[in-house]
Amino acid sequence: MNITVFGAGAWGTAVAAHMSFAHDVVLWGRDPSVLESIAGHRENPRYLAGIKLHPSLKVQGDFSLAARHSLDNSAALWVLGTPMGALRQTLEHLLQIAPIEQWPPLVWLCKGFEVGTGLMPHQVVEEVLGKPYGGALTGPSFAAEVARGLPCALTAASADEPTRQAMVQAAHHAALRVYELDDLVGAEVGGAVKNIMAVATGICDGLQLGLNARAALITRGMAEIKRLAVALGAQAETLNGLSGFGDLILTCTGDLSRNRRVGLMLAQGKSLDTILKELGQVAEGVKCAPVVKELAAKLGVDMPITAAVNAVLFEGVSPGEGVLRLLAREARSEEAE
């Protein structure tokens, strides 16, 4: 396949490197120094320092040339590896390259809700393109491990079967397994809201509340995710799979999780501004939390952990007080939650 990956951050680079083992892949990025390092030293020093990338991976700083690498080819794919905040702009740029009738299958890697609109990625795509198109490659995955070729399993989520098959063809090789799913809403909600739960789990671990508390938080966090997902039209059982519990467990417990690190540093008493500067990368849970809180309120969905995370992030509530608020909730049956 001819594949173009747009976005040379950690995840875009890792996916491009993996796909280049079996396909002709071009990686587009904004930072010339990063592209030069990948081309000359087979390494992305900013996001994946010390990890050697496949020698066949090509880089391109010209957006139009990168896009055209995957046009006019019967076996091709566009992969959007940009953050959620850049999804709309990237789609608009692609429309300037070619009309949608000429596009190859489209895949996005971002997880979250668009700030300002509250839209999921597939809704942003539909709004920009005027019709449903493409799908999400998602699931429990740290970029550094994928780039190193360690085992991983992902979900190819789309209502369109040819799009799912294109994702499988592009990524299902070496140590990476890809499973098809037609519930795009469930996959996207799971991938987005788990980042908020990872912030909460980081706070829990940072306050040294114990493994019992962590297990309870993760489990009740999934209950929140399911309630929101179903309210948005997802199938509840989707959240039992890779893009639900799989992604939640990894992000809440893995040391490579940026969102968990946010929670750990909040528990240390650091300010959000300081934390984000130290991270140097996007922590989608921070951007996602207020959007999800507002969306839950509109839909009448009870999300107490999400509310507590928002209170700590943006309302001046201390991590300890946020935990106390959760513990002070009235007792009820587990089914009622």
- pLDDT for 335 equals 56
Active-site residue flag, 226: no
Could you say which of 52, 194, 277, 293 is catalytic?
Answer: 194
Asked if 116 and 294 touch (Cβ cutoff 8 Å), the reply is no
Does 7 show up as a binding residue in the annotation? Answer: no
Is residue 337 scored above 70 in pLDDT?
A: no
Pairing of strands 135-138, 106-108: parallel
The secondary element (H helix, E strand) that includes residue 278 is helix 272-279
Q: Is the dihedral of CA 29, 34, 40, 45 positive or negative?
A: negative
- pLDDT for 330 equals 64
Does 30 show up as a binding residue in the annotation? Answer: yes
Does 284 show up as a binding residue in the annotation? Answer: yes
Whole-number Å distance between alpha carbons of 84 and 81: 9
Expressed in angstroms, the distance from the first to the final Cα of the chain is: 46
Which segment of 172-181, 298-307, 316-325 scores lowest on mean pLDDT?
316-325
Mean pLDDT confidence for 14-22: 97
Mean pLDDT of the chain: 95
Whole-number Å distance between alpha carbons of 90 and 30: 12
CA angle 28, 23, 89 (to 5 degrees): 30
Reading the block at residue 135, the tokens are 């799908």
Asked if 306 and 326 touch (Cβ cutoff 8 Å), the reply is no
Tabulate helix, strand, coil % of the chain (nearest 5): 55, 10, 35
Report the half-sphere exposure of 147 (CA within 13 A, side-chain side): 25
Whole-number Å distance between alpha carbons of 140 and 244: 9
Say if residue 145 is exposed, middle or buried (CB neighbours under 10 Å; 0-12, 13-18, 19+). middle
Which of 213, 234, 236, 232 is closest to 223 using CA atoms?
A: 236
Separate counts of helices (H) and strands (E) for the chain: 15, 8
Asked if 233 and 301 touch (Cβ cutoff 8 Å), the reply is no
Say if residue 93 is exposed, middle or buried (CB neighbours under 10 Å; 0-12, 13-18, 19+). middle
Asked if 192 and 112 touch (Cβ cutoff 8 Å), the reply is yes
Does 226 show up as a binding residue in the annotation? Answer: no
Is residue 240 scored above 50 in pLDDT?
A: yes
Q: What is the pLDDT of residues 285-307, one digit of tens each?
A: 999 999 999 999 999 999 999 99
Asked if 32 and 61 touch (Cβ cutoff 8 Å), the reply is yes
Is residue 332 scored above 80 in pLDDT?
A: no
Cα pseudo-dihedral 334, 329, 247, 299, rounded to 10: 90
Radius of gyration of the chain (CA): 20
Is residue 170 scored above 70 in pLDDT?
A: yes
Does 329 show up as a binding residue in the annotation? Answer: no
Is residue 230 scored above 70 in pLDDT?
A: yes
Whole-number Å distance between alpha carbons of 13 and 254: 20
Whole-number Å distance between alpha carbons of 43 and 49: 7
Domain architecture of the chain: domains with CATH: 2-182 (3.40.50.720), 185-327 (1.10.1040.10)
The secondary element (H helix, E strand) that includes residue 288 is helix 284-299
Does 81 show up as a binding residue in the annotation? Answer: no
pLDDT band at 331 (very low <50, low <70, confident <90, very high): low
Does 88 show up as a binding residue in the annotation? Answer: no
